[in-house]
């Protein structure tokens, strides 16, 4: 059963990370239907994701939910995960406030081995990467760029998992760059058509 294999993988990853950081690290694992033909991959959880223990439940998650509505699919039919399963953050020395930061190459390296195994269990037909970090990780190409590859499906392999890759901008990017919204909507409509072609959605 895929769910049992994923549970075992979670335990293994949690032990690995707790050993590495020498503390009980709050991790956010993938969530959703492991039998789904389609997997969505983000970058890393934020504060709200850690509090709720689920990916994409904060502001970026709200944007993602709107995109999923455009695709006319149910979130519960999907499997959603992140490259990095801990929250990368920095602390402002003056105010003591925490803010999210981009994961380091080292963090991505540690977690991508587990993402590979996660996908090898699920064996999706389609992977939708959200943003640059997930795209570079799946293509194992640091030079890959979402600005160039967004909205263009490609066949790819990640470990033993082979699937169609559909790169989308990260849903948080339209919070900061409003001019991306039109491009994002066009990409979503291409994805909707592609889901029909692949018979993932009727």
137/139 with CB nearer ligand URA? 137
Sole window of 50-58, 107-115, 158-166, 181-189 interacting with ligand URA (rule: CB under 6 A): 50-58
49/149 with CB nearer ligand URA? 49
C-alpha 35, offset from chain centre = 17
The least CB distance from residue 197 to ligand URA, in Å, is: 27
Residue 42 lies near ligand URA (rule: CB under 6 A):
yes
Sole window of 44-52, 101-109, 115-123, 187-195 interacting with ligand URA (rule: CB under 6 A): 44-52
Residues in CB range of 63: below 8 A, 6 or more apart: 171, 172, 174, 175
Angle 2-21/105-122 helices, nearest 10 degrees? 160
Q: What are the phi and psi torsion angles at 72 (to 5°)?
A: 55, 45
Residue 82 lies near ligand URA (rule: CB under 6 A):
yes
CB 167 within 8 A of CB 149: yes
Site for ligand URA (CB under 6 A): how many residues? 12
CB 200 within 8 A of CB 125: yes
CB 166 within 8 A of CB 153: yes
Residue 45 lies near ligand URA (rule: CB under 6 A):
yes
46/151 with CB nearer ligand URA? 46
Distance CA 51, CA 122 (A): 26
- CB-based closest residue to ligand URA: 42
- Cα angle 12, 40, 25 (rounded to 5 degrees) comes to 35
Residue 103 lies near ligand URA (rule: CB under 6 A):
no
Residue 46 lies near ligand URA (rule: CB under 6 A):
yes
Binding site for ligand URA (CB under 6 A): 42-46, 49, 55-56, 58, 60, 82, 172
């Amino acid at each position: 059963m895929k769910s049992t294999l994923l549970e075992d993988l979670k335990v293994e990853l949690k032990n690995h990370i707790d050993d590495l950081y020498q503390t009980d690290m709050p991790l956010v694992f993938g969530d959703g239907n492991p039998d789904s033909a389609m997997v969505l991959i983000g970058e890393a959880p934020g504060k709200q994701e850690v509090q709720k223990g689920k990916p994409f439940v904060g502001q970026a998650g709200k944007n993602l939910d709107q995109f999923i509505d455009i695709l006319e699919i149910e979130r519960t039919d999907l499997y959603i995960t992140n490259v990095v399963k801990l929250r990368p953050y920095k602390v402002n020395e003056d105010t003591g406030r925490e803010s999210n930061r981009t994961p380091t190459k080292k963090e991505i390296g540690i977690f991508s081995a587990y993402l590979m195994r996660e996908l090898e269990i699920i064996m999706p037909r389609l992977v939708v990467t959200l943003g640059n970090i997930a795209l570079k990780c799946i293509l194992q190409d640091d030079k890959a760029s979402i600005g160039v590859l967004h909205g263009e499906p490609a066949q790819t392999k990640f470990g033993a998992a082979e699937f169609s890759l559909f790169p989308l901008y990260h849903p948080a990017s339209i919070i900061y760059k409003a001019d991306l919204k039109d491009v994002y909507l066009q990409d979503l409509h291409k994805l909707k058509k592609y889901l029909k072609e692949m018979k993932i959605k009727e």
